[in-house]
Structure 1
Amino acid sequence: MPSVSSDALIVLTLPDGSTREVAPGTLARDVVGSIGARLLQASVAVAVDGEVQDLMTPLRKSGAFVVITDKDPRALAVLRHSGAHILATAVRRLRPDAKIGFGPAIDDGFYYDFEVETPFTPEDLAAFEAEMKKVVAEKYPFMREEVSLDEAKVRFADDPLKLERLADFEGTDEVISTYTDGPFIDLCRGPHVPDTSHLKHFKLLHTAGAYWRGDVKRQMLQRIYATAFFKKDELETHLHNLEEAKKRDHRVLGKSLGLFQIFPQAPGAAFWTPKGTQLYNTLEGFVRERQKEAFQEIKTPLLYNKKLWEQSGHWGKYKENMFLVLDNETGEHDMSLKPMNCPSHHVLYASEKHSYRELPVRYVTFDVLHRNELSGALSGLTRVRQFSQDDCHVYLREDQIESEVKFLMDFILSYYDTFGLTARLKFATRPEQRIGSDELWDRAEGALRAALESTGREYEMKEGDGAFYGPKIDFDVTDSIGRAWQLGTIQLDYNAPERFDLSYTGEDNAPHRPVVIHRAVSGSFERFIAILIEHFGGAFPVWLAPEQVRVIPIAIDYNEHAQALVTRLKAHGIRATLDARNETLNYRVREGEVEKVPYMCVIGRREAEEQTVALRARGGGKKQDILSQDAFLERVLEEVRTRALPVPAEKAAAAEADA
């Protein structure tokens, strides 16, 4: 190695505080090897100042140097990215005609896009997976090479998708790198595992269509989705959860339970059945109840002219997602259905004078919103065009930010606790496309981060993922089968008060600018209900279930007694129904089980005479408990009052076995 002046050396600081000085361009694997041969053998990649790179990438900057093994959470993304390349290797072996796109790691696996004349079949996927196992067994090293733009064009002359990507490098000084594993070469930044043998536990899942570069005007590619883990049991657990997710699909359960439907006459909007409407209203009523003391509910119009959206910044930053309406007077599409509530709340706040004493002012609304989602992106209740949010905007003084964030955070987290949902906090900073000066963003990010840290709660960073008007705290909840959903948010906005000239009269009797916090808890009710359907598998807690009790008389002789019980339950606010159809008892009980009714009360001769019920609890199998009507009524009322969560079937079975 040629001599290098000490000024030009890269200084790497190891976790124990010691340092290594190396020449620029030194491979990361050489540094790891100098630390220890066993560490090199266990290493997957490294991180330099938090930036992950593989062992074959030259080092170019000084900083903290951390060796990443398979025990580091960051290693999984490296493994999965390599899995995508191994998938492409296998596909090109069996289908040389396939044009290659890109293959990134994603949250729960990886994918690769291919351009082919006919869609891949399940048989194709089985063949690709078998070929991947051969590539893994061949233990090809991932060889990295940095090349010029001209050389890259030569190497990918037969891959038009890669050539198009290379055009983006024109006139830049960005490093162009390729990776080779065996006969396959790909244009890629990395990072990758040292060789293909690291991909031991993986599974190809399914295919889907995907537009090239996400542009609906471009050609449709075939995307193969897959997943991978370092440990076999982790893969098996993930695959089990995927199967469980299929069973819980809200689109299937929503229809089978008679909750909602979506028709082609209104794409992206739900038709709620009587049962679904009961569920929706119960949830909304719960939110209203929790907010009635500290929040002021308002209603605002659905349609606005573009002046409002220009003032808010949405016309310039969000117009393509808005449903525009033709103004008959101007002949232009300069009206819009509202995609969010913020500007209308600002207009109402600005219409009155406010004193510092009355702040914070918390406006909350449940108005209908519309967003022009692409038709191909619509999916059940999770991606819709019409929805409602439990939307709140708080107008407050700067000195109230810390206490308000704590109040809102406790409010949101306790809401999720009610449903057995756990949440992780993420702090999102300024995006590239934004409004407002850097000075305002500095203030907003500093204030919100300080408020977040004052709560003492752990959080993750989401650089560049803030709203276009301000930084935010996002709440990612985890459901009963381990899936993460981004739901609630607390967003700090210094821009809206400037744009809408919002003010309050301070203690000095002079006007001051308030700060605005945008807060949502459920996100949209539609999406939250979809999550709840899948979280509970359709077996809702008693308080939330559209039908809480079904009373079933054994024979016509006991119909009157059964109806009397239904009437009594309803008088106490319990949602009870009578099933006195001319069907067998087993048929009616089985139907109640399929429809996931929490409680079924069977009424026969003894129950009619003794004022009792033969109670079948959901998930209890064929077990029947004999309870007095009074005891049963008290039990249901207590579960509703406490909003008790359902006991998982496996726990119920264990408790029964112990008894």
Structure 2
Amino acid sequence: MIKVTLKDGSIIEVEKGTKVSEIAKSLSQGLYKKALSAKINGKRSELMAEINEDCELEILTFEDEDGKWTLRHTGSHILAQAVKRLYPKVKLAIGPAIENGFYYDFEADFSFTPEILEKIEKEMQKIIKEDLVLERFELPRSEAIEYVRNKDEDYKVELIQDLPEDSIISFYKQGEFVDLCAGPHVPSTKKVKSVKLLSLAGAYWRGDEKKKMLQRIYGTAFSKQSELEAYLNMLEEAKKRDHRKIGKELGLFAMHEEGPGFPFFYPKGMVLRNLLEDYWREVHRKSGYDEIKTPIILSESLWHQSGHWDHYKENMYFTKIDEEDFAIKPMNCPGSILVYKDGMHSYKELPIRLAELGLVHRHELSGALHGLMRVRCFTQDDAHIFMTKEQITDEVVDVIKLIDDFYKKFGFDYFVELSTRPENSMGSDEDWELATSGLKSALDKAGLKYKINEGDGAFYGPKIDFHLRDCIGRTWQCGTVQLDFQMPERFDISYIGADSEKHRPVMVHRVVFGSIERFIGILIEHFAGAFPTWLSPVQVKVLPISEKFHDYAKEVEKQLKEKDIRVETDFRAEKIGYKIREGRMERVPYLLIVGEKEVENNEVSVRSRKNGDEGVSSLDSFIEKIQKEVKTKENYLVQS
């Protein structure tokens, strides 16, 4: 008999060769119906897989991320099958599952259109109803190449040729359709209950601008129609909140063709940006950080020393100065290390916390650029902390607390992932084990639940990632904490210990915003441009009913400015109803209407974005109210 350890720690015994689906059925009929795939010893697998040795087993449903991934992976195969049924001469490239859906790349001698997508989607729904079983089979590499060559699938041939000669190549068959694939998949097409094709895009084969441009179809899949409808409603809401559209409407920022991927911040956008930076500085001063500034251009040799050259040079920009090779920095850490290294440090000084709002540049493909969310230059709110090994847990706990307090100020909740050693990494097993256990210990001490993200750490160390959840349920990776034993070694930095000997410090890399530009984009979409009062570029708009009240409006504006309240006055010869509508469209938190009664009583009529008409108030009382709101950084959301 085989011993199987389940997710809850319980152990069951099954006969050798028992399928995972049979185990799911024996556990619960409800689980069996909902089951999509499995994890065997932490590795994605299928319900069709047989259990032939003692193992850990997790049955996955759509509630699990890996269950979603499996269902959507099968969705991509259904898409490819539908395309081949309708257009047999189209060639297949790749079709992975991605966050929230899937895509497939095709080579076709015609352009896919919305009308064609509609036809493809109907064919997909037919395939789902046909309840086609997904069957895996394997071939030696040479036979696999011949097999796909006979099908005239050039891209598949290339993929197989890139694999080692002794590889065994797996395929999946559903009905008449066969695709090259490592799997896993759900048992049959019927499990993919609800699909929707969402958009079209161009994509270079294998992401290489020198290779052929293919057509990419994006789609998504859910286990219930109601879940799909909720997701589509969220996408519609996201369109309304698009930071590029709102940013332009509110005069915050713009992108120009003269600088693709290089954002221009306008005066109101700079107000918002400076408020965020001021708050960042306030938090870091109180938490014992010293701010530094390092150059954006540094010698190419520095990036060889840091390891970025071997792992990151494709994303870097270069220049020559006096015939010497230089690089524009893609990261701030080497500069911070040079600051630390420029002096001798005692263990009594540690931890040393150096913070920097550093401008970095990274090369992104033009097709990947997206407003402020994906740019070629951005400001990282970096900090690099130098400490002893004994200080790791407490210091990382403090960083976690700082990040937690920071996000709560903006009304975000979040979830956490711990990313472990990637394949392309540097350093010893011992260092990686110590770094990973240090981060785990800090997370446990901070009382945070977290998910392990195997193999997704930085090349120099494991990391903790913070994923913000906005008001419509989308997630954004922002903050990160990375533990690094490698760069202190590469740069030969040290401190003098209690034994008067030199010791190697441990280094933490961490960001809170991640990228200020991207964080602004997230804030715009989270608040739909209706920022809380403390963040609003314009906090108050004064609206005189007619020209004869302009002098009083100017006096109101003057008194507000004297109290550091950001204010504009609308002196246009428009009706007051029109001015109020315009103020609301501009998402201004407070509109102050002034007319004859207000002048007579030295008052203002207050309309707030949050509560609507708040009646009349003395100017002093209104100023006191708004100052309190700004001081406490009161946060609230309003309907977009």
TM-score by length of 2: 0.95
TM-aligned CA deviation for residue 490 of structure 1: 0.9
Distance in structure 2 (CA, Å) of the matches to 1:499 and 1:71: 43
Partner of 2:183: 190
Residue 562, structure 1, aligned to residue 562, structure 2:
no
Q: Secondary structure at the residue paired with 1:389?
A: strand
- Please say if 1:628 is aligned against 2:618: yes
Q: Deviations over 1:32-61 (max 9, x none)?
A: 567677765553333322323223344455
1:177 deviation in Å?
Answer: 2.4
Q: How does 1:476-625 map to 2 (within 5 A)?
A: 476-618=467-609, 620=611, 623=613, 625=615
The CA deviation string for residues 63-122 of structure 1, in whole angstroms up to 9 with x for no partner, is 023433455553222221111111111111111121112222222111111111233111
Counterpart of 1:400 in structure 2: which amino acid? Answer: Q
Taking a change above 3 Å as real, the CA distance of residues 433 and 67 of structure 1, as seen in their structure-2 partners, is closer
- Which amino acid is 1:115 matched to? E
The 5 Å alignment of 1:137-286 reads 137-157=129-149, 158-174=152-168, 176-286=169-279
Where does residue 136 of structure 1 map in the other structure?
128
After superposition, the Cα gap between the structure-2 partners of 1:57 and 1:100, relative to the gap in structure 1 and judged at 3 Å, is farther
Distance apart, 1:27 and its partner CA: 4.5
Separation in 2 of the partners of 1:527 and 1:547?
21
1:321 counterpart residue number: 315
Q: Is the 2:141–2:165 contact (alpha carbons within 8 Å) kept by the matching residues of 1?
A: no
Contact 1:12 1:21 in 2 (8 A): no
What code does the residue aligned with 2:55 have?
A: G
SS at match of 1:83: helix
Residue 352 of structure 2 aligns to which amino acid in structure 1? V
The 1-side partners of 2:589 and 2:211 are apart by: 49
Match of 1:290 in 2: 283
Task: Specify whether residues 422 and 581 from structure 1 end up closer, same or farther in structure 2 by C-alpha distance, changes over 3 A only.
Answer: same
User: Deviation per CA, 1:152-180, whole angstroms, max 9, x where unpaired?
Assistant: 33432211111112213442344x22222
Structure 1 spans left out of the alignment, 5+ residues: 1-8, 651-659
Distance in 2 between residues matched to 1:518 and 1:128, nearest whole Å? 47
Q: Deviations over 1:591-650 (max 9, x none)?
A: 2111111111110111111122222212556x4522222222122111101111124339
Tell me, in whole angstroms, the C-alpha distance in 2 between the residues paired with 1:77 and 1:359: 44
Paired residues of 2:198 and 2:220 also in contact (CA < 8 A) = yes
The aligned residue for residue 627 of structure 2 is 637
Contact 1:248–1:537 (8 Å) recurs in 2: yes
Name the CA distance, whole Å, in 2 between partners of 1:290 and 1:69.
Answer: 42
What is the DSSP-based 3-state SS (H/G/I as helix, E as strand, rest coil) of the residue aligned with 1:430? coil
1:117 matched to 2:109: yes
Q: Given the alignment, which residue of 437, 447, 452 partners 1:446?
A: 437
**Whole-Å separation in 1 of the counterparts to 2:590 and 2:581:** 12
2:427 alignment partner AA: G
CA–CA distance in structure 2, aligned partners of residues 412 and 479 of structure 1:
16
Say if 2:527 and 2:638, in contact at 8 Å, map to a contact too.
no
Give the conservation status (yes or no) of the 8 Å contact 1:619–1:649: no
Q: 1:44 to 1:366 in 2, by over 3 A?
A: closer
Q: Which residue of 2 aligns with 1:654?
A: none
Q: Alignment partner for residue 56 of structure 2, among 64, 71, 91? A: 64
Matched, 1:388 2:379: yes
Does the aligned pair in 2 maintain the 1:99–1:114 contact within 8 Å? yes
- Is residue 2:72 matched to residue 1:84? no
Whole-Å Cα distance in 1 between the matches of residues 51 and 351 of structure 2? Answer: 51
Which whole-Å CA distance do the structure 2 matches of 1:464 and 1:197 have between them? 32
8 Å CA contact retained: 1:345, 1:393: yes
1:407 and 2:436 are equivalent in the alignment: no
Corresponding residue for 1:653?
none
How far, CA to CA, are the matches of 2:92 and 2:622 in structure 1? 63
| Residues 420-449 of structure 1: per-residue CA shift (max 9 Å, x gap) | 111211111122222223332222222222
1:162 alignment partner AA: K
Alignment of 1:351-362 (within 5 A): 351-362=342-353
Specify the alignment match of 1:416 in structure 2.
407
Structure 1: which amino acid aligns with 2:265? W
My pick for the range that moved more, 481-490 or 612-621, is 612-621
Q: Secondary structure at the match of 2:553?
A: helix
2:459 and 2:6 mapped to 1: Cα distance?
Answer: 38
Contact 2:527 2:637 (8 Å CA) reproduced: no
| 1:103-114 correspondence runs (5 A) | 103-114=95-106
Is residue 14 of structure 2 the alignment partner of residue 20 of structure 1?
A: yes
The corresponding residue for 1:94 is 86
Cα distance, 1:517 vs. partner?
0.8
Cα deviation per residue 1:278-325 (whole Å; 9 max; x = unaligned)? 111111111111112311111122221122222212222222222111
Give the one of 465, 468, 476 matched to 2:456: 465
- Out of 248-257 and 190-199, give the one that drifted further: 190-199
For the residue of structure 1 that corresponds to 2:173, the secondary structure is: strand
Kept in 1: contact 2:3–2:12 (CA 8 A): no
CA distance in structure 2 between the partners assigned to 1:459 and 1:252 by the alignment: 35
Q: Is the partner of 1:366 in helix, strand or coil?
A: strand
Displacement after TM superposition at 1:486 (Å)? 0.8
Check whether the contact 2:102–2:219 (CA below 8 A) recurs between aligned residues. Answer: yes
> Could you tell me whether the CA contact under 8 Å between 1:620 and 1:649 is conserved in 2?
no
Partner of 2:304: 310
- Asked if 1:350 is matched to 2:333, the reply is no
Deviations 1:102-155 (A, max 9, x none): 222222111111111233111111111111111122222222223333443343
Specify the SS of the correspondent of 1:551.
strand
Match of 1:4 in 2: none
My pick for the range that moved more, 538-547 or 463-472, is 463-472
8 Å CA contact 2:2–2:13 kept in 1: the answer is: no
Percent identical:
46
Q: How far, CA to CA, are the matches of 1:197 and 1:448 in structure 2?
A: 42
The runs of 5 or more residues in structure 2 that have no matched partner are none
Count of aligned pairs: 635
Name the stretch that deviates more: 563-572 or 96-105: 96-105
Structure 2 vs 1, CA of residues 391 and 46 (structure 1 numbering), >3 Å: closer, same or farther?
closer
Preserved contact between residue 367 and residue 388 of structure 1 (Cα < 8 Å): yes
TM-superposed CA distance for 1:568, in Å, is: 0.9
